[in-house]
């Protein structure tokens, strides 16, 4: 079970940089792209620091809204490119869904040489899960990576991902440049085992 305190602690970095987790600025290179609700994110607007509980609540609401409003029309396979990062999915024969998370040149320039990436929110079939990816700090050219097979729902219960499940992954990025951050989220359908 994930407590309110645990959710707040996950987003301490967000509050520390004073980031507003609402609409972010889109890089000029992405201005002509058609937005896709299942493959989105942005560079976030900085504001005066808010208290940690308020920042955590905004992030939680945004992630939940993304999952609820977005159909899982595409399979979690191959590369999902976006101005913030490219996420590459594959599902192992044993059922584990793995991902690689590589920052774009634009994101590296905006965020700085070192980045902290976390996944404070994830959803399976409309229910929030405990985050499958804790904070990782590395050089911005690093291929952040993780996987999910078994999960626990926030508040209790859980299971293992299955073919056809709707999943949403919400990543938060804190840059080493002052007051820089970004977010990235993908909603997709779990493919059959052995898919890349």
pLDDT tens-digit readout, 48-103: 445 666 666 666 777 777 666 666 779 999 999 999 999 999 999 999 999 999 99
> Above 70 in pLDDT, residue 27?
no
% residues pLDDT > 70 (the chain): 68
Q: What angle do CA 154, 35, 112 make, to 5 degrees?
A: 75
pLDDT band at 7 (very low <50, low <70, confident <90, very high): very low
The two three-digit tokens of residue 165, written as one number: 């499940």
Lowest mean pLDDT among 10-24, 34-48, 49-63, 128-142: 10-24
- Residue 37 pLDDT exceeds 70: no
| Both structure tokens of 103 | 């920052």
The pLDDT of residue 120 is above 80:
yes
pLDDT tops 60 at residue 185: yes
The model's pLDDT over 143-162, given as tens digits with 9 standing for 90+, comes to: 999 999 999 999 999 999 99
Show Cβ contacts of residue 163 under 8 Å, excluding neighbours closer than 6 positions: 190, 191, 192, 193
38 or 178, greater pLDDT: 178
pLDDT confidence bin for 22, thresholds 50/70/90: very low
């Amino acid at each position: 079970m994930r407590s309110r305190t645990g959710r707040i602690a996950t987003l301490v970095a967000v509050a520390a940089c004073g980031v507003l987790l609402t609409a972010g600025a889109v890089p000029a290179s992405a201005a002509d792209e058609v937005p896709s609700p299942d493959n989105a994110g942005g560079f976030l607007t900085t504001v005066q620091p808010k208290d940690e509980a308020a920042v955590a609540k905004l992030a939680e609401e945004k992630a939940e809204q993304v999952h609820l409003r977005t159909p899982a029309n595409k399979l979690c396979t191959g590369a999902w490119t976006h101005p913030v990062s490219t996420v590459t999915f594959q599902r192992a024969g044993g059922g584990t869904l793995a991902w690689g998370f590589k920052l774009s040149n634009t994101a590296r320039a905006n965020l700085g040489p070192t980045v902290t990436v976390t996944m404070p929110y994830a959803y399976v079939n409309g229910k929030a899960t405990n985050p499958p990816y804790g904070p990782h700090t590395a050089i911005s050219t690093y291929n952040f990576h993780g996987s999910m097979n078994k999960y626990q729902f926030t508040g209790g219960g859980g299971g293992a991902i299955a073919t056809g499940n709707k999943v949403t992954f919400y990543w938060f990025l804190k840059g080493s440049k002052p007051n820089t951050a970004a977010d990235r989220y993908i909603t997709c359908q779990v493919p059959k085992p052995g898919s890349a």
